[in-house]
Structure 1
Amino acid sequence: MATNKYALFFILAFSTLSCSSDEGSPAIEPDTPTPYALTIPKHLPQNYTLPADNPLTEEGVELGRHLFYEEKLSGNNTMSCGSCHQQEKAFTDGRALSLGIDGLPSRRSAMSLANMLWFSQLNWDGSALSLEEQARGPIENTVELHENLGSAVAELQAASPYPRMFQKAFGDSIITETNVLKALAQFERTLISADSRYDRYMNNQEQLTKDELEGMKLFLTHPDPSTNTRGGNCGDCHGGTLFSLRTFHNNGLDDTFSDNGLGDVTGLERDKGKFKAPTMRNIALTAPYMHDGRFATLEEVLDHYNDHIKYNSPTLDPLIIEASNEPNGKTLLLTAEEKRKIIAFLHTLTDPTFTTDKRFSDPNK
């Protein structure tokens, strides 16, 4: 009995010491992500929507940056999002049709990622309704990165430094598909382009030339021969300071469609042949042009709108049908000088800060 008493005494004493030791240990604080201070230039839209379940944080954006340039998101670990969205080309790739990991051309041209914060219908055909949703598409597309996202997650889980980065960004070192997509979307929402010569002009920091100013007026004006108002008819689709109204149009490229664009998403006859009007920001860096990259230069683009619209194209945009600078004109009928001035203005939309900003660059270089 005495032996049992001593044994019980030591057990209780040890337990007391153990409890005292635990109570004195500092608690491990969970990682608390730091809110990302997103600065919106005053001349850009001040209204934008962030998903309630994916606020911008310093840690989430930095993780997204690493993932954007991470080749483990491709099936053979040779390509990343940044392969087709290169910063020096305003996050395009200079190809008519992007090439995937097997060297096969994709269906369409890579779009610029500038100012996607304000866009809710993504891709040329509007098939994704959020950046989180859009990010999955190229990863799992068999012609593009050709990777199962679940397999990529397993690779990331086994690779330093990702578990710790996910812990800091989302409070959990267990990597999930959802958090991969959230991080990519956070990074892409920070890709704001707003420091071109045009922007500095808008902020009274720089002057544009006479030709550039006349080109801007032509760009933004819908022609009206009845009032002798000459215009390039560009602003009807590419208006506002985003230089895209974020709408979809058939711009008269084809009489018949090999790619139905928005029509394949909605299933509506009236949407066949319609594609998103992309931003004109950094347009001088993003050749070739159109959803299929058919035009190599801005001059070819202006020639299309001036002389080569397919007026028999079903669903052709009404604002194109009736746009002419001459009474009863059947085409836009800009002069060569007017086209030159519009192109001069388009070059003022190039933002060298955007294409060199270290915050957007490959962290491994």
Structure 2
Amino acid sequence: MKAKTKIFGIIAFINLVLFLVAYNIRPIKVNYDAKEVQLKFTVPPNFPQPGSQYDQHFVTPAGFKLGRILFYDRALSIDNSISCASCHQSFSAFSDQNKHVSQGFKQCSGTRNTPALFNLAWQKEFMWDGRVKLFQLSSHNAIINPCEIANSMAGAVEKLRANGHYTDLFRNAYGSVDIDSARLLNALTQFMSMLVSANSRYDKYRRYEQGGVFTTDEKNGYILFRQKCSACHKEPLFTDLSYRNTGLDLVSIDRGRDSSTHLATDVGKFRVPSLRNIEVTAPYMHDGRFATLEDVLTHYANGVKRNTHLDEQLRHNGTLGLALSSSDQHKIIAFLKTLTDKEFLTDVRFQIP
């Protein structure tokens, strides 16, 4: 009896594996006939204006719809196995939840953690090292990267031209049936530019809106956050858009910003990520080395290495890191969880059409 039970268990496990493999390689079923959504890019009242390179008026309902479909359509890849949404999942603020590093075409593992996608209109540069300077080129990198979507722009365009659904979609968005790489990237940018996250409990607290109530721990955590963390994670975006070395290693394994600037002083520096929705975007750091927020704060309290290019914010009179007691860390984490924007995470406009 035990042997039979064991065999059945093995068979069930094999079936589960086969199901998961089939799930990951099947063409995703997007609704090409989804209704257009009337929407307009608006700057939240507690936010600054977007960067100068961003045009607030270029998003159209037809362009957004096209970008949304493209974002979820695995047809962009060579073998219909992967889409943008495969690594950027809406329920985790368009990050790749529980994956240390990005995992793309044929399970190829990248070298860096998949960044969350929101409030992109306020970014000046893209990727962990800032090597992509234009918003519309951020998708280009993913499409042609052999470890991500693993196609070429010409190959992606050819596949869209062969898919009859896209003829009307491109005509409606751009006034003609021409399908090219510029329009492909523009449509994706229209979709991603609308991924604005600004309705967390923190935002409601700051705007004195209903639902913006903090507990005592959250209030104290907010005070501590402003004292200890806000130099780099500046409100309201919760990033100052800079690149910093946070002492993860004594000698930086990943060259970081230096791979873009080729400056020795930039070795081991990475973009300061936004802390918005941080509760749902684990694991953390550019290589996903920390599984929990507790791990992150333990690093800043006790684990900072004396890297040659360590950021000055983590050097104080010969002492490394931040003075954070266990109680301080608990309160800061309580505050950080108020940055979770549940309305953004469940917004039907951003789900698979």
Match of 2:315 in 1: 321
| Equivalent residues of 2:128, 2:256 under 8 A apart | yes
In structure 2, relative to structure 1, the CA distance for the partners of 1:136 and 1:330 (3 Å cut) is: closer
How much has 1:39 moved relative to structure 2?
A: 2.1
TM-score, length basis structure 2: 0.86
Q: How far did 1:129 drift? A: 0.9
Q: What amino acid does structure 1 have at the position aligned with 2:224?
A: L
Tell me what 1:26 maps to. none
Q: Which runs of 5+ in 2 are unaligned?
A: 1-35
Q: Secondary structure at the match of 2:169?
A: helix
Aligned to 1:341: 331
Offset of 1:257 from its aligned partner? 1.9
The equivalent residue for 2:303 is 308
1:212 aligns with 2:231: no
- Secondary structure class of the residue paired with 1:215: helix
How far apart, in 1, do the equivalents of 2:40 and 2:66 lie? 16
Aligned position for 2:352: 362
The alignment status of 1:121 with 2:111, answered yes or no, reads no
- Structure 1 Cα separation of the partners of residues 54 and 341 of structure 2: 28
Quick one: distance in 1 between partners of 2:114 and 2:321?
29
CA shift in 2, pair 1:51/1:200, >3 Å:
closer
- Aligned counterpart, 1:154: 158
Matches within 5 A, 1:177-192: 177-192=181-196
Query: Within 2, Cα distance between the matches of 1:329 and 1:256?
Result: 18
TM-score normalised by structure 1 residue count: 0.83
Question: 1:2-27 CA distances to partner (integer Å, 9 max, x unpaired)?
Answer: xxxxxxxxxxxxxxxxxxxxxxxxxx
Distance (Å, rounded) in 2 between the aligned partners of 1:330 and 1:247: 20
Identity level (%): 39
Q: Which residue of structure 1 aligns with residue 141 of structure 2?
A: 137
1:247-285 per-residue CA deviation (whole Å, 9 max, x = no partner) reads 100011011122111101000011111000111000000
Aligned-partner Cα distance in 2 for 1:359–1:277: 28
Aligned AA for 2:161?
Q
SS at match of 2:48: coil
Gaps in structure 1 of 5+ consecutive residues: 1-32, 222-232
Native 8 Å contact 1:54 1:182 kept in 2? no
Partner of 2:67: 64
- For residues 331 and 90 of structure 1, the distance between their equivalents in structure 2, rounded to whole angstroms, comes to 28
SS in 2 for 1:293: coil
* Structure 1 position 181, deviation (Å): 0.5
Is contact 1:283-1:350 (8 Å) kept?
Answer: yes
Note if 1:89 corresponds to 2:92.
Answer: yes
User: Aligned partners of 1:109, 1:337: CA distance in 2, in Å?
Assistant: 29
1:247 maps to which of 242, 247, 255: 242
Distance 1:53 1:278 in 2: 23
SS at match of 1:62: helix
- CA drift of 1:329 comes to 4.4
1:340-365 deviations in whole A, cap 9, x for unaligned? Answer: 000000000001111110111111xx
Cα–Cα, structure 1 residues 202 and 318, in superposed 2: closer, same or farther, change >3 Å? same
SS of equivalent to 1:207: coil
Q: Determine the C-alpha separation between the residues in 2 that align with 1:154 and 1:302.
A: 47
2:159 is aligned with 1:165: no
Q: 1:110 to 1:331 in 2, by over 3 A?
A: closer
- Indicate whether 1:281 and 2:271 are aligned: no
Distance 1:339 1:174 in 2: 54
Give the greater-gyration-radius structure (CA): 1
Which one of the candidate residues 195, 198, 201 is aligned to 2:202? 198
Q: Which residue of 2 aligns with 1:257?
A: 252
Q: Residue 107 in 1 paired to residue 111 in 2? A: yes
The one-letter code matched in structure 1 to 2:316 is E
Cα shift at 1:54: 8.4
When the two chains are superposed, the root-mean-square deviation of aligned CA atoms in Å is 1.9
- Where do residues 48-63 of structure 1 align in structure 2 (5 Å cutoff)? 48-49=51-52, 51=54, 55-63=58-66
**1:330–1:277 distance in 2 versus 1, CA, 3 Å:** closer
SS across alignment from 2:343: coil
Shift of 1:146: 0.6
| 1:270-308 Cα distance to aligned partner (Å, 9 max, x none) | 111100011100000000000000000000000000001
Q: CA deviation at 1:105?
A: 0.7
